[in-house]
Structure 1
Amino acid sequence: MQVAIDISEFSYLPAQAQALGVAAPPVERLTLPLPGGRQVSALRYGAGSPEITLLHGAGLNAHTWDTTVLSLQRPVLAIDLAGHGDSSWRDDLDYTPRTLAVDVAAALDAWTDRPQLIVGQSLGGLTGASLGAARPELVSALIVVDITPGIDTSAGPAALREFYAGPTDFASRDELVDRAIAFGFGGSRPDTERGVLFNTRVRDDGRVEWKHHFAHLAAQALAAHAPGDESAPSVLSDAGWDDLTRTSAPLTLVRASDGFVSASDADDFSRRLPHARVITIAATHNAQETAPSELAALITATLPSADL
């Protein structure tokens, strides 16, 4: 049986909004051409100019923030990082935060008219730090969700390596939903169906493939028996600590209680960045999906305008 999925990428929002008891905001897909023929894509939710910009983690896309956005009930911009969602893949395979931040800055220059509260989860958090260091005028505050430059992410990538060891294309989305559930990814079946829809595309030959570049790179590396962590290109380095140190905007680390950042990692963060605050919430690594209301409340309270 095929998954019954509406072809509209926004078809799930009304039911999600109804479940939360809120109104579904207007939403549109934005696309910005970049030099060299690439493009950056984003979702703009709500009416009015956003003051919140959301950056997803590796292997995800802007829709990972849907429930958090519904909880916020504010205008928001959610960007597909390069190699993810509807943004272009990079021929040079450079998905390090400082490179990704260049596209994010271009998007903010085009689509916002004021400094943004940047909320970045995992890879998106390190990208936000790079943005804050390089373009401080674009960042009013920075919330980094469940990542620090020095954490041991071996548990997560190990599961991802096994997941990506199989094919990168499938006969149907239903086949991929079954595979994801078998590996313990996603939540309920409807939630997994929604995630699969947003993270895949149908090729001209009718096969379904991953949208994000990391899955294809991981499969290629595994096929070649490359050593090390092949779940995604390496994105963590000492450069991340440097970027966080040079970020002048107010800084918050959100530690997910069941995520990748341990208590000792959070202590190290506080030692290196004593001016930053650290907040722990009950969530998994993808806190925007498992604790959206709690994260939305924290975001709202962090807005510079919240004190006005």
Structure 2
Amino acid sequence: MTVKFNVCEGLKLAADVKGAWTGHPVLLLHGGGQTRNAWKGTGRVLAYEGFFSVAVDLRGHGESDWSPEANYTLDAYAADIAAIVRALGRKVAIVGASLGGLASLHTIGKSPDLECSALVLVDVAPKTRATGRHRIKEFMRANPGGFASVAEAADSVSQYLPHRPRPSDLSGLTKNLRLKKDGRYYWHWDPRLFDGGLTDSINEAREGLELSAATTSVPLLLVRGTNSEIVSEEDAAAFRSVAPQAEYVEVPSAHHMVAGDNNDIFSRIVVQFLNQHIDRI
């Protein structure tokens, strides 16, 4: 079922919910350039395990509103997350990948009173590889004129993710595209995403993100893909030295988009961590 959350600036964010409302809520936050559809498999597993899964399209992505003022700072994303947690009205576990993870960690630092029961960071840490970040930004800024067909967009994804087999059925990709009146397909995200202060706000927040990780009492887990282009082994070690209380797991053969590369193992890791740290009685 799809629902809408009212957040900051009067924006509405789309979310898919799965499982019984009485289950412990797990908020799933995708990375930059993704949508809530990235969590489809994990959401099903969480619902099966008795959790209440809430997968959200971040502002400027998917079916959620775009910011009229192109406000895509880390503060804006954190305010949205806090609004959703408060709307749910009880303790919430958060699973955040890439941008979603940084925004979640920033949220906890800015709102220490927020009802958060656990935090899972998926292939992201305060310090990451600059080359990997640059590659993501290049992909998202490419093709401003859109694509003539879904197949052309699929070719672009295959070049960006050469380790993944090109799917024979491209219907799933249409969820990440918008067909406009000019007959061309455009990525679902706001092209002003990086013009709205996102990169600068992340760079400015890095020390604060480390402090949040070091001082939070919320159970914390870092999940890293062993083939990650973003979080190196050194980055993970630096994070663990700052936050020695955090648990750490690697997903074999997974790249930056861990859930998409090995969803079965990833979902199992998340469920095990949540069951260990959340009292669901």
Shorter-normalised TM range: 0.7 to 0.9
Counterpart contact for 1:146–1:285, Cα < 8 Å? yes
- 1:41 aligns with 14
Q: Deviations over 1:98-121 (max 9, x none)?
A: 3201112212222x2421111111
- Matched ranges for 1:174-193 at <5 A: 174-184=151-161, 187-190=164-167, 193=170
Aligned length: 269
Q: Give the distance between the partners of 1:125 and 1:190, measured in 2 at CA.
A: 27
Q: TM-score when scaled to structure 1?
A: 0.77
The partner residue of 2:218 within 249, 260, 263 is 249
- 2:243 aligns with 273
Matched, 1:166 2:143: yes
Paired residue secondary structure (1:284):
coil
Q: Give the distance between the partners of 2:86 and 2:101, measured in 1 at CA.
A: 19
Counterpart contact for 1:40–1:107, Cα < 8 Å? no
Q: Deviations over 1:31-78 (max 9, x none)?
A: 133454421221111233452111111111111011222333243001
Counterpart contact for 1:55–1:81, Cα < 8 Å? yes
Counterpart contact for 1:57–1:124, Cα < 8 Å? yes
- Matched ranges for 1:208-227 at <5 A: 208-213=185-190, 215=191, 217=193
- Matched ranges for 1:26-37 at <5 A: 28-34=1-7, 36-37=9-10
Identity of aligned residues (%): 28
Give the AA of the match of 1:41.
Answer: A
The partner residue of 2:57 within 69, 80, 84 is 80
Q: Give the distance between the partners of 2:214 and 2:233, measured in 1 at CA.
A: 20
Shift in CA distance, 200/216, structure 1 to aligned 2, threshold 3 Å: farther
Paired residue secondary structure (1:189):
coil
Counterpart contact for 1:68–1:289, Cα < 8 Å? no
- Matched ranges for 1:274-293 at <5 A: 274-282=244-252, 283-293=254-264
Matched, 1:233 2:209: no
Give how far 1:179 is off.
2.5
Give how far 1:176 is off.
1.1
Q: Give the distance between the partners of 1:86 and 1:167, measured in 2 at CA.
A: 19
Give the AA of the match of 1:45.
Answer: K
Q: Give the distance between the partners of 1:233 and 1:39, measured in 2 at CA.
A: 23
- 1:21 aligns with none
- 1:12 aligns with none
Q: Give the distance between the partners of 1:196 and 1:186, measured in 2 at CA.
A: 17
Matched, 1:70 2:13: no
Q: Give the distance between the partners of 1:130 and 1:174, measured in 2 at CA.
A: 37
Q: Give the distance between the partners of 1:191 and 1:255, measured in 2 at CA.
A: 28
Counterpart contact for 2:82–2:114, Cα < 8 Å? no
Paired residue secondary structure (2:223):
strand
The partner residue of 1:258 within 227, 235, 255 is 227
Paired residue secondary structure (1:64):
helix
Shift in CA distance, 292/37, structure 1 to aligned 2, threshold 3 Å: same
- 1:121 aligns with 97
- 2:31 aligns with 57
- CA RMSD in angstroms comes to 2.8
- The gaps in structure 1 that reach 5 residues or longer are 1-27, 222-229
Give how far 1:184 is off.
3.4
